[in-house]
């Protein structure tokens, strides 16, 4: 997999960096290429959790029927009244991008809510850091932050073994990996 194109300019996700700055929450209107619908038995409590703990904001709402939440562009969640999955049912799962300095504050904010399970942070073999949150609605939300490429790291070795090599711009911007 060494034929790919650099298109960071069309994505809200910043280039991997230890000090990457998250984009502003996006308030524009667009045709959503994807979104997640979350059923909740307590719409106001869910809005509070998703906004205060996970950093979403209310883009718009139809009182009692739907709340459209968003963070960055293309990170849309629709909260609707309904019955969340029961305790033994598989949890729906969704992943959202973030930057490295957002992981710990997300986990800390989630700690202030009941019925929330947090795991992480953990580093992956594909060069990211992740935090997993099981929300009060039993949705598995994974926040993933890309780490800068370090050619001497174990992650880089795994990526090379899979045929993935860094973009030229990444290869010139390395920082220590042991953070």
The overall pTM is greater than 0.85: no
Q: Is the pLDDT of residue 4 over 60?
A: no
* Domain membership flag for residue 179: no
* Domain membership flag for residue 7: no
**Looking at residue 58, which CATH number applies to its domain?**
3.10.180.10
Question: Per-residue pLDDT averaged across 112-140, rounded?
Answer: 92
The CA-based angle 152-124-36, given to 5 degrees, is 140
Rounded CA separation 82/37 (Å): 11
Q: pLDDT band at 8, cuts 50/70/90?
A: low
Q: pLDDT band at 13, cuts 50/70/90?
A: confident
Q: How many CB atoms lie within 10 A of CB 34?
A: 8
Number of domains in the chain: 1
* Domain membership flag for residue 63: yes
* Domain membership flag for residue 177: no
Are 114 and 129 within 8 A, CB to CB?
no
Tokens of 67: 């709340």
In sequence order, the 6+-apart residues with CB closer than 8 A to the CB of 24 are: none
* Domain membership flag for residue 147: yes
* Domain membership flag for residue 122: yes
Rg (C-alpha) for the chain, rounded Å, is 18
* Domain membership flag for residue 41: yes
Mean residue pLDDT of the chain comes to 84
Tokens of 160: 């090379």
Q: Is the pLDDT of residue 175 over 60?
A: no
List the one residue out of 68, 67, 48 whose CA is nearest residue 113: 48
What single string gives the DSSP state of each residue in 125-143? TTSEEEEEEE-TT--EEEE
* Domain membership flag for residue 87: yes
State which residues form the domain around 166.
34-171
Rounded CA separation 40/56 (Å): 16
């Amino acid at each position: 997999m060494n034929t790919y194109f650099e298109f960071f300019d069309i994505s809200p996700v910043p280039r991997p960096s230890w000090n990457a700055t998250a984009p502003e929450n996006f308030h524009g209107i667009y045709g959503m290429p994807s979104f997640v619908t979350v059923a909740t038995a307590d719409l106001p409590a869910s809005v509070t959790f998703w906004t205060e703990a996970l950093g979403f904001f209310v883009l718009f709402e139809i009182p009692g029927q739907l709340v459209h939440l968003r963070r960055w562009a293309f990170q849309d969640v629709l909260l609707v009244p309904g019955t969340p999955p029961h305790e033994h049912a598989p949890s729906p799962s969704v992943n959202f991008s973030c930057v490295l300095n957002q992981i710990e504050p997300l986990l800390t904010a989630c700690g202030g809510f009941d019925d929330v399970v947090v795991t992480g942070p953990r580093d992956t073999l594909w060069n990211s850091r992740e935090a997993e949150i099981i929300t009060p609605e039993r949705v598995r939300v994974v926040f993933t932050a890309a780490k800068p490429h370090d050619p001497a790291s174990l992650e880089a070795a795994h990526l090379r073994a899979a045929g993935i090599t860094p973009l030229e711009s990444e290869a010139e911007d390395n920082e220590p990996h042991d953070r």
